[in-house]
A and B are shown apart, each in its own frame.
Chain A
Amino acid sequence: MDRNITLPITSEISEELHIGDYCYLNGVMYVARDAAHKRMDEALNQGKELPIPIDNAAIYYMGPSPARDNRPIGSAGPTTASRMDKYAPRLLDLGQKAMIGKGKRTKEVLDAVVRNKATYFAAVGGAGALLSKCIVSSEVVCYDDLGAEAIRKINVKDFPCIVVADCHGGNLYEEAIKEFQK
């Protein structure tokens, strides 16, 4: 099913989503990948506050290429989500509701998706130029020294992605393959 979604994604919205839904996201999401997740985790270990409001947050696993003049951002496709598996359950338990990336997740992450009524979306890997055009604005929020790995706040318009793990326990990567296996 095709759906237009206005961010933030809440538990109520998550409950309506099912694997295979083709969604167009609109609104604010945060961008963070390996190094930023590591720092957020360390901040939590030290009892410090997270640098972004985590409640109902959508985090896009991405590290853009530099923006050309008059563009908000460069190429901006998803990176492999499994590298964030170590950190994701903790953030989901703290209120994060959506993850956008590509590729398989561990059972711990999928369990945290169900437990917290969250959603894991896949954006099309390797479509960084196309996805760049769906990003209306971008600003670095913190960890500027990490360059392409800094945390950004972006505004997206009709950002296409597909529900691959829903809060009902569905996993599209497993289901879809069965259908086309010969």
Chain B
Amino acid sequence: MRIINTSEIISNIKEMCIEANHYLSTDMDKKLKDVVNTEESPLGKKILVSLQENLNIAKEEMIPICQDTGMAVFFVELGQDVHIEGGLLTDAINEGVRLGYTEGFLRKSVVKDPIIRENTKDNTPAIIHYDIVEGDTLKITLAPKGFGSENMSRVFMLKPADGIEGVKNAILTAVKDAGPNACPPMVVGVGIGGTFEKSALLAKKALARSFDERPEVEWVRNLEDEMLDKINCLGIGPGGLGGSTTALAVNINTFATHIAGLPVAINICCHVNRHVTRIL
């Protein structure tokens, strides 16, 4: 058994909040650079060049890449041989978020109650998804999620008879409806299978997957490639102002499902697709 103290967790989470909002992951960064050369629209290219300038200013002057520094979403993989000492793990994560967002000059975008809407003033509570896994490490992924694109996300409860064509239509419908609202070029996370809520979780996890990691199953890999092509033929383009770069990637996760169902969730993310992982 390995002991991890909450103080270590808190300080790491605080740093992760600040890091994620000022620097993109290397795969995102590279992809955004590459598309500058392939974009067909002159206005689209100009926008993609401004995004490069934006990323440089963000890291050099420590101004968040986007003012919507998001709701803090966590994927936590807790090794079952780990013992957490010093308090509750959930409290530690929220404390790290509080410190990261208040001391790191990040925007507090969370309201306590969805109808009364009073700001909690420290960006808590975080959204935390736990998995218990093998081993004695604690793996934490933080993905701050902006709501311009979150609001354009969808879950479709398709019928098994709708098949893969139904899935393709669902993805294209979500992307078309999102259009300029989701700050394209977007990253499209898709979850196919599971239950209603499982599909959404699969889609959200897909957004945090590195572009270098490809799915093992062949039809899923092919579907990712085909959908990326189809989305980039929609013409939406950077900023929604027309062009050939509407999406940077389509990441799909799948899971077993019920004989009567075919849930498909599409979680749209903008070009500020932030995620940081640390293993303690």
Contact = CB atoms under 8 A, between A and B. Distances in A.
A141 interface: no
B271 interface: yes
Given A79-B68, A147-B119, A162-B43, A128 B63 contact: yes
**Interface range on chain B (Cβ under 8 Å from partner):** 35 or more
Contacts of A65: 63-64, 67, 69, 105-107
**Interface range on chain A (Cβ under 8 Å from partner):** 35 or more
A59 interface: no
A79 B180 CA distance: 11
Contact of A66 (B46, B107, B233): B107
B185 to A, nearest CB: 10
B181 A64 contact: no
Contacts, number: 165
B235 interface: yes
Q: Is the interface of B mostly helix, strand, loop or mixed?
A: loop
Most buried by B among A77, A125, A128, A178: A125
Contacts of A77: 66-68
A103 B240 contact: yes
B137 to A, nearest CB: 33
Contact of B65 (A80, A122, A129, A133): A129
A131 to B, nearest CB: 8
B61 interface: yes
A176 B181 contact: no
Contacts of B235: 176-182
A76 interface: yes
19 contacts: A77-B68, A124-B50, A124-B51, A126-B65, A127-B66, A128-B54, A129-B58, A130-B57, A133-B57, A172-B242, A173-B241, A176-B240, A176-B242, A180-B40, A180-B242, A180-B244, A181-B234, A181-B235, A182-B233
Interface of B: 40-41, 43, 46-47, 50-51, 53-55, 57-58, 61-69, 105-109, 117, 119, 121, 146, 148, 151, 179-181, 183, 233-237, 239-244, 270-272
Interface of A: 20, 22, 35, 62-68, 71, 74-77, 79-80, 82, 102-104, 122, 124-130, 132-133, 147-148, 160, 162, 164, 172-173, 175-182
Given A66-B105, A124-B239, A176-B241, 19 more contacts: A35-B117, A65-B106, A67-B105, A74-B105, A74-B107, A75-B64, A77-B68, A102-B239, A103-B179, A122-B240, A127-B51, A133-B57, A172-B241, A173-B179, A177-B234, A180-B40, A180-B244, A181-B234, A182-B233
